[in-house]
């Protein structure tokens, strides 16, 4: 039996939001550092000194010290909290198991580190909310792309970004919350599955619209609720209650947006596990996959994409990003291109691989299952005819 519509999976990464005004990682790091160092309360808690200590040690340790960025600093600050000795009376389940083997010589305090990670979360909210209010380029082409997808397919969007550009472009997308104008809305667990064929957008790492309830007891403890007004979400961005247990006796500090280098451990918060369950199914049912602006540093996403692409007749994959001077199949491989080749099975470049063909500005793999667009997301959105041509050049998913 043929399906009325194909299923289109769209993975949105940071590169899809940069042209709308979201700062790149290094620029974001500068913004966060300035905010941390200028906040009197954070300074009084020692958070600024902790930031500088972590940054200084990373610059000495890393081979390329110019790459120290806020997610590395956040990760170090968070993990240092749980390297400190537990209270004498702590039961074994809450005694981090590596403590007797490690020594923290940073001289940072628990209060300093907590003030630092809390401030980083708040700066991310503030910056993203501000940029979303005034996008740097029009959202019309994004809306046209999504509407075009919806005409012929069921678009299912999953984003690792916190911004609301996709939702602004297509406000009718289902987010896992029944947004009906209420000040805050709890997660719609039944609707997530019953609306399987609805065009949808799920925030894998949280959103500026997601935070903790302002009404204690309104839903399950510490669930992430939805606020139509992101300034309301910002009010409860810093959680003051208990953390999420890890099996090694340590904890994860609850934050409504997932950042740092240990993202997978942070996905215990409802509704994030449901979004990943849905993605696991969507990635295997997709008839076409778009990966937009993804740095491929989130290994949990790469694992799912690798499963879908390992089939004998995989869904065609369109990789949309920007490379200065275009994507060079013969360039020395970096971490991203290695993931593209091995996890996403985009066989363009590398020894023993037949050369790609071209469909307009697209590079098409010799097996006709993948294509690369290197001109950036906005250029891709403006070139609708090239998109149509490359779709025709790619093999459809097999039975």
Determine the Cα–Cα distance for residues 133 and 136; give it in Å rounded to an integer: 10
Reported as a single tens digit per residue, the pLDDT across 149-191 is 999 999 999 999 999 999 999 999 999 998 766 688 999 999 9
Kindly state the average pLDDT of the residues 350-372. 90
Determine the Cα–Cα distance for residues 362 and 380; give it in Å rounded to an integer: 10
In the chain, domain spans:
6-21+136-173+287-393, 22-134
Residue 10, beta-bridge partner list:
157, 290
The residue count for the chain: 399
| Mean pLDDT taken over the chain | 91
Query: Which among 73, 66, 71, 77 has a CA at the least distance from the CA of 14?
Result: 71
Instruction: Give the pLDDT band of residue 218 (cuts 50, 70, 90).
Output: low
The owner of tokens 């879908």 is 308
Q: How many CB atoms lie within 10 A of CB 61?
A: 9
Angle between helices 25-38 and 110-133 (to 10 degrees): 120
Instruction: Give the pLDDT band of residue 1 (cuts 50, 70, 90).
Output: very low
> What is the β-pairing status of strands 357-359 and 200-203?
unpaired
Is 251 a residue whose pLDDT tops 90?
Answer: no
Determine the Cα–Cα distance for residues 13 and 41; give it in Å rounded to an integer: 33
Least confident interval from 32-41, 53-62, 243-252? 243-252
Instruction: Give the pLDDT band of residue 137 (cuts 50, 70, 90).
Output: very high
Least confident interval from 91-100, 175-184, 256-265, 300-309? 175-184
Determine the Cα–Cα distance for residues 239 and 224; give it in Å rounded to an integer: 11
- In sequence order, what are the residues at sequence separation of 6 or more whose Cβ sits closer than 8 angstroms to the Cβ of residue 115? 41, 42, 45, 46, 47
Instruction: Give the pLDDT band of residue 2 (cuts 50, 70, 90).
Output: very low
| pLDDT > 90 fraction of the chain, expressed in percent and rounded | 68
Determine the Cα–Cα distance for residues 142 and 148; give it in Å rounded to an integer: 10
The encoded tokens of residue 73 equal: 């600093």
CATH number of 6-21+136-173+287-393: 3.40.50
Is 217 or 327 the better-scoring residue by pLDDT? 327
The owner of tokens 């064929």 is 197
The encoded tokens of residue 80 equal: 């240092």
Report whether 71 contacts 258 (CB < 8 A). no
- In sequence order, what are the residues at sequence separation of 6 or more whose Cβ sits closer than 8 angstroms to the Cβ of residue 138? none
Is 314 a residue whose pLDDT tops 50?
Answer: yes
Q: What is the 3-state secondary structure (H, E, C) of 85-153?
A: CCCCCCCHHHCCCCHHHCCCCCCCCHHHHHHHHHHHHHHHHHHHHHHHHCCCCCCHHHHHHHHHHHHHE
Is 330 a residue whose pLDDT tops 90?
Answer: no
pTM for this structure? 0.94
Instruction: Give the pLDDT band of residue 219 (cuts 50, 70, 90).
Output: low
Determine the Cα–Cα distance for residues 36 and 23; give it in Å rounded to an integer: 17
pLDDT given for residue 182 in this prediction: 64
Please, what sign has the CA dihedral across residues 27, 28, 32, 38?
Answer: positive
Q: Where are the alpha helices (DSSP H) in 270-361?
A: 272-285, 299-309, 335-342
The encoded tokens of residue 195 equal: 């609306």
Reported as a single tens digit per residue, the pLDDT across 268-277 is 889 999 999 9
């Amino acid at each position: 039996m043929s399906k009325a519509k194909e299923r289109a999976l769209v993975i949105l990464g940071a590169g899809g939001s940069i042209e709308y005004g979201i700062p790149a990682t290094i620029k974001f790091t500068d913004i966060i550092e300035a905010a941390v160092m200028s906040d009197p309360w954070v300074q009084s808690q020692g958070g600024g000194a902790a930031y500088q200590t972590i940054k200084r040690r990373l610059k000495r340790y890393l081979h390329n010290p110019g790459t120290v960025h806020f997610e590395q600093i956040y990760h170090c600050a968070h993990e240092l909290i749980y390297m400190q000795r537990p209270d004498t009376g702590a039961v074994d389940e809450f005694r981090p198991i590596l403590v007797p083997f490690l020594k923290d010589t940073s001289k940072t305090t628990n209060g300093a580190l907590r003030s630092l990670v809390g401030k980083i979360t708040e700066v991310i909210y503030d910056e993203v909310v501000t940029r979303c209010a005034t996008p740097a380029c029009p959202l019309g082409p994004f809306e046209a792309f999504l509407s075009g997808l919806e005409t012929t397919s069921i678009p299912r969007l999953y984003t690792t970004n916190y911004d609301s550009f996709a939702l602004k472009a297509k406000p009718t997308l289902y987010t896992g919350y029944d947004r009906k104008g209420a000040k805050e809305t709890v997660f719609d667990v039944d609707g997530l599955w019953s609306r399987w064929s609805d065009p949808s957008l799920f925030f894998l790492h949280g959103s500026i619209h997601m935070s903790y309830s302002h009404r204690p007891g309104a839903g399950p403890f510490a669930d992430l609720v939805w606020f139509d007004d992101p300034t309301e979400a910002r009010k409860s961005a810093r959680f003051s209650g208990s953390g999420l247990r890890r099996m090694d006796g340590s904890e994860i500090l609850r934050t409504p947006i997932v950042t740092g280098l240990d993202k997978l451990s942070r996905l215990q918060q409802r509704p994030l596990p449901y979004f990943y369950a849905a993605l696991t199914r969507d990635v295997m049912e997709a008839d076409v996959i778009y990966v937009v602006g993804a740095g491929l540093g989130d290994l949990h996403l790469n694992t799912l994409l690798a499963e879908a692409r390992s089939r004998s007749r995989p869904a065609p994959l369109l990789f949309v990003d920007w490379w200065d001077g275009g994507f060079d199949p013969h360039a020395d491989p970096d971490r991203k291109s290695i993931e593209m080749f091995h996890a996403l099975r985009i066989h363009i470049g590398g020894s023993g691989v037949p050369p790609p063909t071209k469909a307009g500005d697209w590079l098409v793999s010799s097996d006709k299952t993948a294509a690369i667009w290197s001109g950036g997301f906005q250029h891709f959105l403006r070139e609708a005819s090239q998109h149509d041509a490359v779709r025709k050049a790619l093999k459809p998913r097999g039975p």
